[in-house]
Amino acid sequence: MKTNMNTMNVETIYKQKVQTQLLEFLCRQFLVEEQDIELNESLVDTGIIDSMGLIEIASYIETNYAFTVTEEMMNRANFGSVIKIVDFINKHDASNGSPTKK
């Protein structure tokens, strides 16, 4: 049970770090205030980004994490909100330090 708890803590800390860095990027790149970003809302639907913004986020992910974002990956399931993007990065980034990743 302790291993599962440690794994969960590592993953939670990692996801918090990813979310903080992603929000900093979004604020800097798209000139928006963090309090204006709803974590569970679509960045496109709320007008924060457009389709080019999705490409910029994919480029940010590729630059900062250990994987390539394919066109097929750029969908609402993965890029539908900040929370979904963080989960997407956590799932695909082999360097995140989580013992559950292979």
How does pLDDT run across 10-20, given as a tens digit for each residue?
Answer: 889 999 999 99
Considering the segment(s) 2-92 as one domain, its CATH architecture is Orthogonal Bundle (1.10)
How does pLDDT run across 38-81, given as a tens digit for each residue?
Answer: 999 999 999 999 999 999 999 999 999 989 999 999 999 999 99
Neighbour-count burial for 59-77, b at 16+ CB within 10 Å, e otherwise = ebbeeebeeebeeeebeee
Q: Residue 85 CB: number of other CB atoms within 10 A?
A: 23
Flag whether pLDDT at 98 surpasses 80: no
pLDDT band at 3; cut points 50, 70, 90: low
The residue extents of the domains of the chain are 2-92
